Structure 1
Amino acid sequence: MFLFKKKSVGLDMDTFEARAVELTGNSKAPRLVSCGRIPLEEGTVKEGNIIDAKKAGEALGQLWEDADIDREEVILGVSNQGVLVRFANFPRVPQDKLGNLIRFQAQEFLPMPLQSVVLDHMVVGEVREENKEMLEVLLVAARKEMINAFVEALDSARLMPQEIDVSSLALLRMIPPEDKEKTVAMVHMPYEMGNVLIAAKGVPRLARLIPLNLINYVGKEILQGIGSCSDLETLDWSAYNINEWNEALVSEISSSVDYYHSYGEATRVEKICLSGCGSRIPGAAELLQEALDIPVENSDPLRGIKISSQLEEDLQGRASDFMINISLALRGLEE
């Protein structure tokens, strides 16, 4: 029955706006039932951090009303300097002892006190180190103060965090099915603080923020146009610093790919997938492909997702802005 279908909401926020997507069904047959975005007042969020929880809560309440989202539990994506992602090797121990071992040794790999962070981990492989079997572990440390500010904002809007995910790692779910066995760089470029994830055969190998703020290069007015206009060819780009933006993007992605390739056993990146409003800046994909000699394509986050004709029309040309949100919501539909 429809009333008992599972629902999931993915939410993320940056300096410019808050975005949310609601899915229903299950991870194999998801349906997008609502989505929306709302501009944020200056001083509400800065570089992915909540500055004014009350204002953020008011905006979220309005977003829920405007987008007709009825689920109060959300899966939140965070993307800021308060989140650290590190790869580390730990002795191979039984699964039931691994958590305690990581908590005991994690301080060696983190630049902040453990008591100030929320710590999570994922085993991504096994390696030999000095003739010992070791587990390769991805560590995630998020500052408690930063997380608490988001929780306060959600509470102000009468919402609750179901899960909290790192936006860059959320891109793992959005790798195209035909590329699951390849080494792929997923690049998401919202209004600020872009995300890069490099995965080899579906295993995360590098995750980082890229400090590119589209507003600084292009300005708010044109970004609002990107958010609502699907026919970018009609816009006059001559007055904006898109060449500087494209060059900065190439520099950041090139640095990330080169850093990954510097690992001893790293496989070559075979494809780059772009998403976010920055992916629609003219010339970005072409310049990246030419500079790195790697195939580049724009991602389609609606692939495999059922959607009404009205929502599809509303999202035409800007669905990739909701790439992270869709991935977060898909997490909530997983069994």
Structure 2
Amino acid sequence: MFFKKQKFALGLDIGSHSIKVAEITDSSHGLQLKNFGIAAVPAQAIVEGVVKERAQVADIIAALVNNLKITGKRTAASIAGYSVIIKKINMPLMSDKELEDNIAVEAAQYIPFDINDVYIDFQILGASVEKKDRMDVMLVAAKRETIDEYSELIRDANLVPTIIDVDPFALENAYEANYDTENHNIALVDIGASKININILINGVSTFTRDASFGGDQITDQIRSKFDLPYDQAEILKISGNVNGDKRPILEEIFSSTCSLWTMEIRRAIDFYYANYPDHSLAKIVLSGGSAKIAGLSDILRLETDIPVEIFDPFARIDVDPDRFDPEYIRQVGPQAAIAIGLALRSVET
């Protein structure tokens, strides 16, 4: 008997600082990286998830896809921020069909938008621990305007929008493909240019999510201000940390104060999680995103939370051909590739 290989979507992570594209295939060795690329996005072209310069961003995506010689069109992208509501809710036990018929009415209680202005999706997590006649459901609502705008952007780039996911679940998908998730609880923390996504998994099931409007741009903006540098040079200095003389203490203070602010926000989310799940201690915090490797962040976070911290490797169980991809480059870009890899692992119908 012959089995058709699973087809995966083209993973497209549209960030405010860069576009990431990933393509995964099934091979005889398992999952294999076929393509990966990053392209910079001009400042202010995308602001807090809102695409301000659609034609320009579409051209960047199309050029990146063409340069990588990607032929697949079916694309999975994701959104985050205040246009998305993710909430775990408790409902009476019912079938998928019954839930589908009733979810809009139930969702209206939790969504701060007009129910007609959102797309709604859900996943049944299982029977409630406290009451066996009820069940836990993960509710996701996204503003139609945002979904439609991202879909049009993808079409403008000559691709086909097939899946519009949300960042925390794309990150979870990448984690599940590369790590064991059973019998321990973890916090996935993605720190991008303008946002922090927190997704806490209990035994592999997403249980708590939170977004915060913080990110690497805070450091870049402070470097620009303190050292009177243009944006591009401030970004380079942020990444390299290369500064001498009396400027080094200034840079170190920027890193330290910003990492402390991020840590405070992450710790606040973890404290809220513990208030609701006191018996489910976290085994570790896993950092991803372009700002995950900011100097000192892991150490501060570990000290403040008393939880082990590690950097996400989205290629841990994905075969990467060293003749096609420089191993050092893959190691360096790993944390910021996580969402794109998670999206590239979404299956699409053939």
TM-score by length of 1: 0.89
Question: Closer, same or farther in 2 for the Cα pair 1:326/1:157, shift >3 Å?
Answer: same
Distance 1:8 1:235 in 2: 42
Which range is displaced more, 146-155 or 24-33?
A: 24-33
Q: Is the 8 A contact 2:218 2:258 kept in 1?
A: no
Q: Which residue number in structure 1 is paired with residue 41 of structure 2?
A: 40
Distance 2:272 2:309 in 1: 19
Question: Closer, same or farther in 2 for the Cα pair 1:266/1:207, shift >3 Å?
Answer: farther
CA RMSD of aligned residues (A): 2.7
Which range is displaced more, 303-312 or 116-125?
A: 303-312
Q: Is the 8 A contact 1:182 1:200 kept in 2?
A: yes
Question: Closer, same or farther in 2 for the Cα pair 1:166/1:223, shift >3 Å?
Answer: farther
SS of alignment partner, residue 183 of structure 2: coil
Matched residue count? 330
Q: Is the 8 A contact 1:226 1:318 kept in 2?
A: no
The alpha carbon displacement at 1:224 in A equals 4.7
Q: Which residue number in structure 2 is paired with residue 330 of structure 1?
A: 345
Post-superposition CA distance 1:74-107 (Å, at most 9, x none): 1101122101111111111123211112123211
The alpha carbon displacement at 1:28 in A equals 8.3
Q: Which residue number in structure 2 is paired with residue 299 of structure 1?
A: 312
Choose the corresponding residue for 1:319, options 312, 334, 339. 334
Distance 2:170 2:69 in 1: 24
Q: Is the 8 A contact 2:74 2:159 kept in 1?
A: yes
Q: Which residue number in structure 1 is paired with residue 289 of structure 2?
A: 276
Structure 1 runs, 4 residues or longer, greater than 4 Å off: 232-239
TM-score by length of 2: 0.86
Q: Is the 8 A contact 2:190 2:287 kept in 1?
A: yes
The alpha carbon displacement at 1:218 in A equals 2.8
Alignment gaps of 5+ in structure 2:
222-230
Post-superposition CA distance 1:128-166 (Å, at most 9, x none): 67x671111111000000111111111111111111111
Alignment gaps of 5+ in structure 1:
none
Q: Which amino acid aligns with 1:100?
A: D
Distance 1:315 1:202 in 2: 26
SS of alignment partner, residue 81 of structure 1: coil
Q: Which amino acid aligns with 1:322?
A: A
Identity rate, percent: 23
Q: Which amino acid aligns with 1:66?
A: N
Question: Closer, same or farther in 2 for the Cα pair 1:143/1:208, shift >3 Å?
Answer: same
Q: Which residue number in structure 2 is paired with residue 167 of structure 1?
A: 167
Q: Which residue number in structure 1 is paired with residue 124 of structure 2?
A: 123
The alpha carbon displacement at 1:180 in A equals 2.9
Question: Closer, same or farther in 2 for the Cα pair 1:29/1:238, shift >3 Å?
Answer: farther
Distance 1:242 1:334 in 2: 45
Q: Which amino acid aligns with 2:232?
A: E
Q: Which residue number in structure 1 is paired with residue 103 of structure 2?
A: 102
Q: Which amino acid aligns with 1:287?
A: I
Q: Is the 8 A contact 2:75 2:161 kept in 1?
A: yes
Q: Is the 8 A contact 1:14 1:46 kept in 2?
A: no
